[in-house]
């Protein structure tokens, strides 16, 4: 059954641009509320203003992504593609007639507070009514971005605060920046930038130039893409895909990198003003996902503090030495693209409020990486400091952690309560039990808990003890497995363990081999083959010779 998707264009010029840049090339990006795989059949029901019918387009998925998918269209199925081409040619002849009639004139450059009609044929030609010349009220109303909700001067701090506000609110709209470089428009979706446009165009920020500088394409491929752009009007990314210089996933990654590079350049503007205009709908679709502001800013400020003179860094953190940490709310920590040690540091700060000077003694990283991470978190507003320990915040985190664990235990079998695999034997059960007991006996690093939280902790430990009592010997484990797992599961897993042990015998990893065979025997005690191989492995592990039947 092909995946059905309905696409309804409310904006006629948006459709024309999409046809010119993607549909005419046999490609399209569709939204998807469920996972799609490469090769999945797709039927697109397309509705366009002026056209009096809904057209069906057929294709297959070539680039599945989160929330969307790139589709290769098949013009041989149905007549939808042929009808679209005829309609587009008709519109082209109409626009040409308008230009040659003398009744219309070419528009000038963008005006402040107006968005370019991104690449639409009429806008690319600059066609506007002669009675509504650039600057006329009607023309302004058509393209105006609306009323800005945020405005200010462009500098490092204001841009950091703005980007975090957009991220927290998951805003969608256009950020306008006016500076000596000209006028920039940053397209924001789900709180992150997806594209930048600049007037006048800055060559060093163009996709092809960036790819050539990075050695991803050759100078010849760059020249060819520019020539194709001039001939066809296609976007450079599409030209690079058509020529084989890039694949679709490579293009998406390149666009993501381009957005980060231009954002970095915006931070260096120095003098300028910004205005943010919320939009219910952006003027075009973007194939790359929004840039995660926390991840970009975290990396930016870590690099900044790594290269900053030591005396300046010290002057920044010295007033904080005796203050306590508070982690900010509303941030998905996965968006910060943290390293393992940095994630562990955030987890530590979430469990207990430390003085700034104490943090270095509990961090698994060295002093400099820890300091750079802390200062970066401080700059983007993810970490705050207070004169007194924020006990309420820490206790709320404890409460959430204990509550989640306790609720999970109520739905879990005995193996899951101990966090041990259901094929585990005595040694595995004992190791899991010791770990769980230590974790919740010393929960919150042994801090004194309020009675409510201590009761929750003790109930968790009680469940752990009960599970251990049932699983500590083979007979108990076998009885528990019969409750929760089908006989076929016992057989399949025993066979997998046996085959794994067989493969490891070649590498003489006898401890693991013996463990695999013993687990297989505990699952299927009446299988003689498992016992024979176990005996052979035990003899070989001691330098003996296996017994032949």
φ/ψ of residue 203, rounded to 5: -55, -40
**What is the DSSP-derived secondary structure letter of residue 146?**
-
Evaluate whether 351 touches 409 at the Cβ level (below 8 Å). no
| C-alpha closest to that of 326 among 390, 279, 271 | 390
pLDDT tens for the chain, residues 1 to 549: 888 899 988 877 778 877 876 787 777 888 888 888 888 899 999 888 777 788 899 988 887 777 788 888 888 888 888 888 888 778 766 765 654 555 544 433 344 444 444 433 333 323 222 333 333 333 333 357 888 999 999 999 999 999 999 999 999 999 999 988 889 999 999 999 999 998 888 888 889 899 998 898 999 999 998 898 888 888 888 889 888 888 888 888 899 999 999 999 898 887 899 999 999 888 888 888 899 999 999 999 999 999 999 999 999 999 989 888 888 887 888 889 899 999 999 988 887 778 899 999 999 999 999 999 999 999 998 888 888 776 777 788 788 889 999 999 999 999 999 999 999 999 999 999 999 999 999 887 777 889 999 999 999 999 999 999 999 999 999 999 999 999 999 999 999 999 999 988 888 899 999 999 999 999 999 999 999 999 999 998 887 655 554
Q: What is the pTM of this model?
A: 0.52
CA atoms within 13 A on the CB side of 75: 10
Tokens at 310, concatenated? 């030591």
| C-alpha closest to that of 293 among 190, 154, 179 | 190
pLDDT of residue 418: 94
Contacts by 396-404, CB closer than 8 A, 24 or more apart: 397/350, 397/351, 398/351, 398/443, 398/444, 398/449, 398/453, 399/452, 399/453, 399/456, 402/443, 402/453, 402/456, 402/457, 402/460, 403/456
Q: Which CATH superfamily is domain 3-101 in?
A: predicted glycosyltransferase like domains (2.40.10.220)
DSSP per position, 20-81: HHTGGGTEEEEE-SS---TT-EEEEEEE-SS-SS-EEEEEEEEEEETTEEEEEE-TTSSSHH
Residue-range domain boundaries for the chain: 3-101, 150-290, 294-389, 393-483, 486-542
Write the CATH number of the domain with boundaries 393-483.
1.10.287.110
pLDDT of residue 100: 52
Evaluate whether 116 touches 144 at the Cβ level (below 8 Å). no
pLDDT of residue 129: 28
């Amino acid at each position: 059954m092909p995946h059905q998707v309905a696409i309804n264009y409310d904006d006629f010029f948006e459709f024309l641009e999409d046809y010119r840049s993607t549909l005419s090339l046999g490609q399209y990006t569709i939204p998807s509320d469920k996972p799609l795989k490469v090769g999945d059949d797709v039927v697109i029901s397309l509705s366009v203003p002026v056209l009096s019918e809904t057209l069906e387009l057929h294709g297959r998925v070539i680039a599945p992504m989160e929330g969307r998918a790139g589709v290769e269209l098949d013009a041989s199925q149905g007549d939808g593609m042929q009808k679209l081409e005829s309609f587009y040619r008709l519109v082209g002849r109409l626009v040409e007639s308008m230009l040659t009639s003398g009744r219309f004139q070419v528009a000038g450059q963008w005006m402040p507070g107006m968005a370019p009609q991104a690449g639409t044929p009429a806008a690319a030609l600059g066609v506007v009514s002669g009675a509504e010349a650039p600057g006329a009220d009607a023309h302004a109303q058509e393209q105006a971005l609306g009323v800005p909700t945020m405005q200010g001067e462009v500098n490092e701090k204001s841009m950091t605060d703005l980007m975090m506000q957009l991220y927290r609110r998951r805003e969608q709209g256009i950020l306008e920046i006016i500076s000596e470089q000209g006028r920039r428009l940053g397209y924001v979706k789900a709180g992150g930038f997806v594209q930048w446009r600049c007037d006048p165009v800055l060559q060093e920020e163009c996709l092809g130039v960036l790819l050539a500088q990075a050695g991803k394409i050759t100078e010849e491929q760059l020249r060819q893409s520019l020539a194709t752009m001039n001939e066809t009007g296609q976007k450079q990314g599409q030209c690079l895909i058509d020529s084989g210089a890039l694949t679709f996933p490579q293009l998406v990654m390149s666009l993501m990198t381009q957005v980060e590079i231009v954002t970095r350049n915006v931070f260096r503007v120095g003098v300028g003003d910004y205005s943010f205009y919320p939009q219910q709908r952006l003027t075009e679709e973007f194939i790359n996902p929004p840039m995660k502001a926390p991840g970009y800013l975290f990396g930016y400020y870590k690099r900044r503090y790594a290269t900053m003179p030591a005396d300046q860094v010290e002057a920044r953190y010295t007033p904080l030495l005796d203050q306590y940490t508070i982690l900010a709310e509303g941030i998905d920590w996965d968006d910060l693209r943290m390293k393992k040690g940095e994630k562990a540091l955030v987890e530590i700060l979430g469990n207990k409020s430390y003085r700034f000077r104490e943090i270095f003694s509990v961090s698994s990283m060295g002093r400099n990486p820890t300091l750079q991470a802390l200062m970066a978190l401080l700059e983007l507003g993810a970490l705050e400091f207070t004169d007194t320990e924020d006990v309420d915040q820490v206790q709320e985190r404890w409460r959430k952690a204990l509550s989640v664990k306790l609720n999970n235990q109520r739905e879990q079998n005995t193996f899951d309560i101990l966090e041990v695999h259901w094929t585990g034997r005595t040694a595995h059960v004992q190791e899991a039990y010791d770990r769980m007991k230590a974790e919740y006996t010393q929960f919150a690093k042994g801090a004194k808990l309020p009675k409510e939280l201590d009761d929750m902790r003790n109930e968790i430990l009680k469940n752990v003890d009960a599970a251990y009592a049932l699983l500590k010997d083979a007979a108990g484990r076998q009885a528990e497995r019969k409750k929760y797992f089908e006989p076929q599961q016992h057989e399949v897993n025993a066979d997998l363990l046996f085959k794994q042990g067989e493969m490891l015998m070649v590498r003489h990893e006898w401890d693991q081999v013996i463990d695999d065979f013993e687990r297989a025997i505990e699952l299927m005690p009446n299988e003689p083959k498992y016992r024979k191989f176990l005996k052979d492995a035990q003899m070989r592990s001691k330098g003996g010779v296996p017994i032949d039947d």
